[in-house]
Structure 1
Amino acid sequence: MNALTDVKFLQPHRHTIGKPYKQLVVEYDRETKAVWTYLNPTGTPCFNLGLLNDLIDNHKSFNANGGKAMCEGSLEPIEYFVGASKTEHIFNYGGDLALFVLLIKSRDRQALLHYAKMCIDCLHGRLTSYDTNAVTISLIQGDALGGGFESALSSNVIIAEESSRMGFPEILFNLFPGMGAYSLLARRLGAKMAEEMILSGKIYSASELHQLGLVDVLVPDGQGENAVYDFIHTNNRKKNGMRAMYECRRHTNPVTYDELMNITEVWVDAALRLEDRDLKMMGRLVRSQQRQLASRKEGQAINPANDFVE
């Protein structure tokens, strides 16, 4: 939608809400009626079991409160859910590859399926706006790969900073992204383009995805959070119509829980067919992610061409 712009909106004060999660930070802004959920995983910034548990528990808390946020002892309305990351320059690397290697080597199909189901529970919850009519926004301020990209795509709106990158590298270890990628991409871009993106393993710049229509708002680095507030205030007068439009999108092109689970079963079976060379590549990616994280923390530049080279 929006081209690269300079955003100047100042952020209101937000209150921390919810439980003291170990890998999640949840805040509420009364002025915009927005819940901000920050991924804050320990170790490699991926969807580990602890983070998935926190996300599912947070979703249940909104359901228990009738789709409202408990803030300083009172239930407050929610009009926006914003998903972001506390890890600098990284939104999320996706699946817990180190866990995958262990479960595949031990042939533990049930544990793989359990992990995948947790991912689907998180994704489908966001696809349905957590059973509310709130608008969901993904704020991408770095790399969103694999399941991280799937998570971003599950929102109504994607706002990305200029240096962000997104893509599905799973084909590098002979697998595919099995927690929503095909369903979400096919509905946005068509089956042919979805398959090309998945099979190429290409990591796209935010600008490229903006041109494809997957990124809705593209902003300079460091202005992502202000861009979210700017989006909310710019659309405030038409928010009722906007929410209704996104609800129409869900009715017109529904991504059902059954569809996601059926594809996840395919993913589990495919994962169990991986050979030793594929698992070795998966291990290389784990080490690459760890190196990238260390380099990011030290403020070093990352060369995309060397991401998966040892």
Structure 2
Amino acid sequence: MAKADDHLFSDVQSVGDLEISTPATPTRRPAIESTQSDPTKLLLPYIDVKLDFEQKIYWAAMRPSQHPMITMELLRDMMCVQESVRAIMEEGNREQCRHLEYFVAASQTPGVYNFGGNLAYFADCIRRRDREGLRDYAYACIDVVYGNAMAFHTPLITIALVQGDALGGGFECALSFDVLVAEKSARMGLPEVLFNLFPGMGAYSFLSRKIGMASAEKLIMSGKVYSAEELHHLGVVDVLAEDGQGENTVRDYIARNRRRHNAHSAIYRSKRRIDPLKYEELQDIVDIWLDAAMKLSEQDLRMMKRLVAAQERRLDRQE
């Protein structure tokens, strides 16, 4: 079994100028006091933010990490970023020089976008029968992906730039944006079925809307890690980039489409109206996921541990 795991993954509060009130759990979005602070100056421990007002792009990249997974701390930073985007867009109504048109989410960890959920935390909660702790984590995840899927309730066009492995919740996060750009060497997949679970934080909702229910189910149930080219053929990846050219490809995409931004923004808004994603849908699926998670056996949890070890070996080989 260890050999199969190797194949899967080897081939496969300090906030700067903002005054942010962070709750004990990230299930409620932190509030930015935009009247007392500058939302363009955001310093976060886990996300690097760069604002290019000339090109009207908000860049947000997860900082390099030895453990590039979705933690509660990263989720809090993601929600802070969403609040800052909304605050800037409100400012943009009065100051056009600060108006944004595109949001780009990326990662600075070489070869990895994000490995997804904190599997060690999952296993610990399940062993301790801590359903509430697992629920708080899962609800925080859907708070973030729902905000992404709604483009933060702004006219922005949102883009995920994947330049490495995006697995499980990392893949779900990338799927939650309007446009998915991936370098050819990037690999994405949903391995949850390998430890007798399913991806419960948005994958089914996003994939079924993008490629249809049957194709989404096939992808989820396979547990496979797909190449960016395979996913581009399936219609999951929207723009394929040469290796090392992801950022330039995003800039080129924006430059080519800038004159049509108004139309594209309206099209994405219309898509959300025609096939709306309700928060309650995500919440109901998380509740199903919680029921399933609490039924995992010790054998399933050991498989989960093997996947964590495989992720660590993947990173060690890159160093």
Residue in 2 that maps onto 1:59: 82
Which residue of the partner structure matches residue 76 of structure 1? 98
Q: CA deviation at 1:43?
A: 3.4
- Calculate the TM-score normalised by the size of structure 2: 0.84
Write the letter of the residue equivalent to 1:147. G
Indicate the percent of aligned positions where both proteins have the same amino acid.
47
Q: CA deviation at 1:62?
A: 2.9
Residue aligning to 1:226 = 248
* Distance in 2 between residues matched to 1:234 and 1:75, nearest whole Å: 21
Specify the code of the residue in structure 2 equivalent to 1:292: R
Counterpart in the other structure of 2:184: 162
Deviation digits for residues 163-207 of structure 1 (CA, Å, limit 9, x no counterpart): 001110000100000000011111111111111111110111000
After superposition, the CA RMSD in angstroms is 1.8
Partner of 1:192: 214
Q: 1:42 Cα shift?
A: 4.0
- Tell me the equivalent position of 1:108: 130
| Counterpart for residue 307 of structure 1 | none
Q: Unaligned regions of 5+ residues in structure 1, if any?
A: 1-15, 299-310
Correspondences of 1:275-286 after superposition (within 5 Å): 275-286=297-308
Alpha-carbon distance, 1:249 to partner: 0.8
Letter in 2 for 1:258: E
Count of residues in Structure 1 that have an aligned counterpart in Structure 2: 279
CA contact (8 A) 1:52 1:118 kept: yes
CA 292–207 in structure 1, closer or farther in 2 if over 3 Å, else same: same
SS of alignment partner, residue 45 of structure 2: coil
User: Hey, what's the Cα distance between the residues in 2 that align with 1:224 and 1:42?
Assistant: 20
- For 1:151, the equivalent position in structure 2 comes to 173
In structure 1, which of residues 267, 277, 280 is the aligned counterpart of residue 289 of structure 2?
267
1:44 deviates by 1.2
Please give the alpha-carbon distance, in whole angstroms, between the structure 2 residues aligned to 1:252 and 1:295.
Answer: 45
Q: Do the aligned partners of 2:89 and 2:100 also contact (CA within 8 Å) in 1?
A: no
Write out per-residue CA displacement over residues 135-166 of structure 1, whole angstroms, 9 at most, x where no aligned residue. Answer: 00010101011111111111111111110011
Kindly state the Cα deviation for residue 74 of structure 1 after the two structures are TM-superposed: 10
Q: TM-score, normalised by structure 1?
A: 0.86
Structure 2: how far apart are the matches of 1:231 and 1:253? 25
CA distance in 2, matches of 1:17, 1:133: 18
- Offset at residue 75 of structure 1 (A): 7.7
SS of the residue aligned with 1:235? helix
> What CA distance in whole angstroms lies between the structure 1 residues aligned with 2:59 and 2:139?
24
Partners of 2:142 and 2:263 in 1: CA distance: 28
**Unaligned stretches of 5+ in structure 2?**
1-38
- Alpha-carbon shift at residue 56 of structure 1 (Å): 1.1
SS of 2:68's partner is coil
How far residue 31 of structure 1 moved from its aligned partner, in angstroms, is 1.9
